[in-house]
């Protein structure tokens, strides 16, 4: 890399010859001004106000304009003769913790390269001293006609210098903060903390300038004659919109988790439970009980029979008991009379209910009568 300044670092009585190299570069796409009617370049010409003639760059110098408009010429020789100790020296004035440097003061960044074999030893000494102390060096230097403030720190195995603005060049933030008192609830702070934790950290090397890439793609497409304007994105107006801060924070947390593939355990469990219930309902089948004769009245009478006797066993359950327990024939025969009487009564009640001729009243009367008759017979037979 080409150096832009040669000098030395003054570290106490130690002098380290160095070269100053730009540590950053701009990748911004620059445009030329053109004449819209024919596409011709628009150029600015440097013209002298006195004679109206165009002046070459070699013939242009510096001058300071007085309040009355008069110009005082200033040459490079005049500036070089000024008694500035930092004209060719980066003079370290102190070592401070890095967090004492306000990021607002940060300006351009440079790499300091050792200039020659004799500079390797003191250069390495300063680098390792900065590493071990975990501090940065504050220095003064002169560049491009003015004295500047700088901060030296270690980047990998290189000493880097950040140009700093002078403290009086930082403007006070007057009238910038929101007017009036604004209160923030603890719940809102908790959600903000959750959002910060969800977003986590990012590899700085993975960040790219997507706008520049889009401009480069557009230029390439236009040069090949295959450019198609993209669809305009709908942009909602930002002013005057009142939002629910809590809802916005909660939605942001969910969106951040979804983008990282971290669905909430509760949401996943709820989805699984809903899916299980839906599958169970889809797979469930109801098998109707078939009765002999195929008559609806007979089926209704059979269904109403247990209710009519107040929870007594039906004929079907009695028959099943006979098959499963052959040793209880005597008990089954003692109950058969009551069961037959109940079945007849229930059948009659169901038939009356189907015709709609006061079935409910007669059914309860018949049920009560049959129950009274059935109970003594069971007891006498016993």
For residue range 26-38, list pLDDT tens digits in order: 888 889 999 999 9
pLDDT for 380 beyond 60 = no
DSSP state of 147: E
For residue range 213-232, list pLDDT tens digits in order: 888 888 888 888 887 887 77
What pLDDT is recorded for position 307?
Answer: 44
pLDDT for 297 beyond 70 = no
pLDDT averaged over the chain? Answer: 74
Which residues lie below 8 Å from residue 99, measured CB to CB, with a gap of 6+?
none
CA 58 to each of CA 46, 54, 55: distance values in angstroms, whole numbers, following the listed order: 12, 12, 8
pLDDT for 267 beyond 80 = no
CA-to-CA distance for 382 and 334, rounded, in angstroms? 7
pLDDT for 164 beyond 70 = yes
pLDDT for 280 beyond 50 = no
- What number is the average pLDDT over the span 260-286? 46
- What number is the average pLDDT over the span 19-46? 91
CA-to-CA distance for 379 and 381, rounded, in angstroms? 5
Angle at 279 between CA 277 and CA 282, to 5 degrees: 110
Tell the burial category of 87 from Cβ atoms under 10 Å away from its Cβ (0-12, 13-18, 19+).
Answer: middle
Confidence of residue 131 (pLDDT cuts 50, 70, 90): very high
155 and 128 Cβ atoms separated by less than 8 Å: no
Q: Is 41 helix (H, G, I), strand (E, B) or coil?
A: strand
Q: For 160-202, give the DSSP string.
A: EEEEE--GGGSPP-TTTSPSS-----HHHHHHHHHHHHHH---
- Return the percentage of the chain with pLDDT > 90, whole number: 31
What pLDDT is recorded for position 148?
Answer: 92
What pLDDT is recorded for position 262?
Answer: 60
pLDDT for 172 beyond 70 = yes
Q: How long, in residues, is the chain?
A: 382
Going by C-alpha positions, the residue among 370, 324, 364, 379 that lies closest to residue 343 is 370
pLDDT for 42 beyond 80 = yes
108 and 163 Cβ atoms separated by less than 8 Å: yes
- Specify the residue for token string 């980066």: 90
CA-to-CA distance for 37 and 134, rounded, in angstroms? 60
Strands in the chain per DSSP E:
3-11, 14-22, 62-65, 71-74, 89-97, 106-114, 135-143, 146-155, 158-164
220 and 159 Cβ atoms separated by less than 8 Å: no
Residue of higher predicted confidence among 76 and 51: 51
- What number is the average pLDDT over the span 59-66? 93
pLDDT for 330 beyond 60 = no
Q: For residue 40, what are its two tokens?
A: 């011709």
What pLDDT is recorded for position 235?
Answer: 60
- Taking the CA atoms of residue 49, residue 55, residue 59 and residue 61 in that order, the dihedral angle to the nearest 10 degrees is 40
Confidence of residue 236 (pLDDT cuts 50, 70, 90): low
Going by C-alpha positions, the residue among 155, 123, 163, 152 that lies closest to residue 17 is 123
CA-to-CA distance for 130 and 157, rounded, in angstroms? 11
Beta bridge partners of 139: 92, 150
- Taking the CA atoms of residue 249, residue 254, residue 258 and residue 262 in that order, the dihedral angle to the nearest 10 degrees is 120
């Amino acid at each position: 890399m080409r150096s832009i300044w040669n000098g030395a670092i003054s570290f106490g009585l130690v002098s380290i010859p160095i070269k100053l190299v730009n540590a950053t570069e701009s990748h911004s796409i620059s445009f030329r001004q053109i004449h819209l009617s024919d596409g011709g370049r628009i150029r600015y010409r440097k013209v002298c106000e006195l004679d109206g003639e165009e002046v070459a760059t070699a013939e242009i110098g510096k001058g300071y304009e007085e309040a009355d408009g008069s110009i005082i010429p200033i040459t490079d020789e005049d500036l070089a003769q000024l008694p500035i100790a930092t004209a060719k020296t980066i003079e370290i004035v102190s070592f401070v913790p890095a967090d004492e440097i306000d990021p607002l003061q940060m300006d351009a960044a440079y790499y300091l390269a050792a200039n020659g074999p004799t500079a390797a030893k003191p250069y390495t000494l300063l680098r390792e001293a900065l590493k071990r102390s975990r501090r940065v060096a504050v220095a003064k230097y002169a560049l491009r006609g003015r004295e500047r403030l700088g901060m030296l720190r270690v980047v990998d195995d290189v000493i880097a210098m950040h140009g700093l603005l002078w403290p009086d060049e930082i403007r006070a933030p007057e009238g910038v903060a929101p007017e009036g008192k604004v209160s923030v609830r603890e719940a809102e702070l908790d959600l903000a903390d959750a959002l910060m934790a969800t977003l986590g950290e990012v590899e700085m090397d993975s960040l790219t300038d997507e706008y520049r890439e889009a401009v480069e793609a557009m230029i390439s497409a236009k040069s090949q004659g295959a450019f198609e304007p993209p669809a305009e994105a709908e942009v909602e107006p930002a002013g005057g919109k009142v939002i629910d801060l809590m809802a916005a924070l909660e939605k942001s947390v969910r969106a951040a988790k979804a983008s990282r593939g971290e669905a909430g355990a509760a949401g996943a469990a709820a989805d699984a439970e809903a899916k299980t219930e839906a599958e169970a309902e889809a797979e469930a089948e109801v098998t109707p009980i078939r009765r002999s004769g195929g008559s609806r009245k007979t089926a209704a009478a059979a269904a109403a029979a247990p209710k009519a006797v107040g929870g007594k066993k039906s004929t079907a359950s009695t028959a099943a008991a006979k098959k499963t327990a052959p040793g209880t024939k005597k008990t089954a025969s003692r109950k058969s009379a009551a069961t037959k009487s109940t079945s007849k009564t229930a059948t009659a009640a169901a038939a009356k209910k189907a015709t709609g001729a006061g079935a409910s009243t007669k059914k309860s009367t018949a049920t009560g009568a049959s129950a009274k008759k059935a109970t003594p017979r069971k007891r006498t037979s016993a």
